[in-house]
A = this chain, B = another copy of it.
Amino acid sequence: MPQADRTRAMRARLLEATVELLVERGFAGTTTTLVSERAGVSRGAQLHHFPTKNDLVVAAVEHLTERRGAELAEAVAQLPAGGRRTRAVVEVLGDHFSSPVFAAALELWVAARTDEALLAALRPLEQRVGREAHRMTVAALGADESRPGVRELVQATLDLVRGLGLASTISDDSARRRRILREWADVLDKELAP
């Protein structure tokens, strides 16, 4: 394997090990030593690419968010048009915000509340991801944001799935989530209709 490919593969292993540890052990339980052990990467190489724990955790959540964001966009693009499309869109969003990647992002988010350096590192990522999720949801719903109130209902949809994602972290909330999102999709269909 050429050196550039080896480096890329090593970085990917580090980032995936980091997300796994965030999901399994939380932010406090994720140490750089555990990450290098799990990724099978030397401490020296790890520190060369990610000098601090904050560098590592932010890059890891960014890496996974981008990969899953692309998967999400693809899933949404393949949904059928027509009567049940809105239900399918909000269900895909709800599942996405209840996935392990959400749990890893939540760990960072909550840790950043009381850690200024982490917050500074996380904020640009969070804003970019937020804009991207909004843009994608508008497109998926075919929402016309020039109409009053539409922008807020799209935002509400994303805040709702974030709240449902939080509920799902400590129990299996999928049946309740499905009922709620079905009802909300029907409301959206009425509100967003031209």
| Chain A interface residues toward B at CB < 8 A | 24-29, 103, 106-107, 109-115, 119, 122-123, 126, 149, 152-153, 155-156, 158-167, 169-171, 176, 179-180, 182-184, 186-187, 191
Kindly report how many copies of this chain are found in the complex they form together: 2
Bound-complex Cα distance A157 to B21 (A): 33
Which B residues are in CB contact (< 8 Å) with A159? 160, 163-164, 167, 180
Q: How far is the CB of A168 from chain B (nearest CB, A)?
A: 10
Residue of B nearest to A153 (CB): B183
Which B residues are in CB contact (< 8 Å) with A29? 114
A-B contact pairs, 15 of them (CB 8 A): A106-B110, A106-B166, A107-B110, A119-B170, A122-B170, A123-B171, A126-B170, A152-B182, A152-B183, A153-B183, A153-B184, A159-B160, A162-B166, A163-B164, A163-B165
